[in-house]
Amino acid sequence: MTWHNPESVLVAAVVGMLSGTHTAIWGMYGDAIHEGFEARRFARSVIVGILAAVAIQSVLRLTVPHAGALVMLFGLAYGVERGIVEVWKTFIRVEDQAKYTIPMQFSVRRVPVASRRVRFVAGAGYVIVVSVCLWAISRIQPAVARLPLPLRASLVGLVVGAIVALGGAWKDAPTEGFDRRKFFRSPLLTVAFALVLAQLTDSYLQLAIAAIGYERATAETYKKFFFPAKPPGKFAGRPIRFPDMLRRRRYLVPVYVAIWAWVLGVGTLALSATR
């Protein structure tokens, strides 16, 4: 099956739907007890995930439905969806920040920047910096080709993990203080996933983006489902305004677990095929 067949587009759409649904569920699980359930917000990640996966497939021509391609596509769609949504929420969306303990809008020393023009400029600068980093990762491939594969993969994972960690520290540290364990969690996870995914792709760019995707999926699963009584940092200290969601949010947990089971199953098949 090749990328331009209708079947490959359908497969990409399904993978994107799975990645977007995964994101939407952990977002709802943590936030809905504080701000209620909003179908439009839930559907946003699903739709962006589908569009991201279809676009990625049309550009990269991954060999779906082979297991390795599915694993990469899921991570890539996850990483791209997270990047798009986070940039939109931070630099573009206009929303009352009073409900948050940690402002979700671009802020300087806990003070949200009111000027839309300044936010747009800051957002453009952020996108440019991240894009340059990803471009540099893709261009250094020949220069480090003689290094052992684990070292190359670790370097890629370390760079993108540092980007995630610095972005999180900029947003959270002014309110929560600098948490060393939290800061290094993202680089450790991206390095770990890069080491695994390096067996499925020889593209450093794909490796970088997919590692971010799986890091986000894993970190948010840990925070939301292993510590369900602990509110997200952005709602720390805020009362539960929608207690009925404590019960209703459980309905989607089996779907969430099923998506993880699919990812782990396909990943096992993909890695087995490389041996």
Structure confidence by residue, pLDDT tens digits, 215-254:
999 999 999 999 998 998 899 889 999 999 999 999 999 9
67-90 pLDDT per residue, tens: 999 999 999 999 999 999 999 999
Binned at pLDDT 50, 70 and 90, residue 45 comes out as very high
The mean pLDDT value of the chain amounts to 93
Give the C-alpha separation, 24 to 87, whole Å.
Answer: 16
Question: What's the confidence (pLDDT) of residue 13?
Answer: 97
CB of 137 closer than 8 Å to CB of 159: yes
Binned at pLDDT 50, 70 and 90, residue 1 comes out as very low
pLDDT more than 70, % of the chain = 99
Give the C-alpha separation, 64 to 73, whole Å.
Answer: 9
- CA count, 13 A, side-chain hemisphere, 48: 21
Binned at pLDDT 50, 70 and 90, residue 4 comes out as low
pLDDT more than 90, % of the chain = 77
Question: What's the confidence (pLDDT) of residue 2?
Answer: 45
Contacts of 240 (CB under 8 A, 6+ apart): 33, 34, 246
CB of 221 closer than 8 Å to CB of 26: yes
Q: What is the mean pLDDT of residues 106-112?
A: 87
For the cut 60, the answer to whether the pLDDT of residue 182 exceeds it is: yes
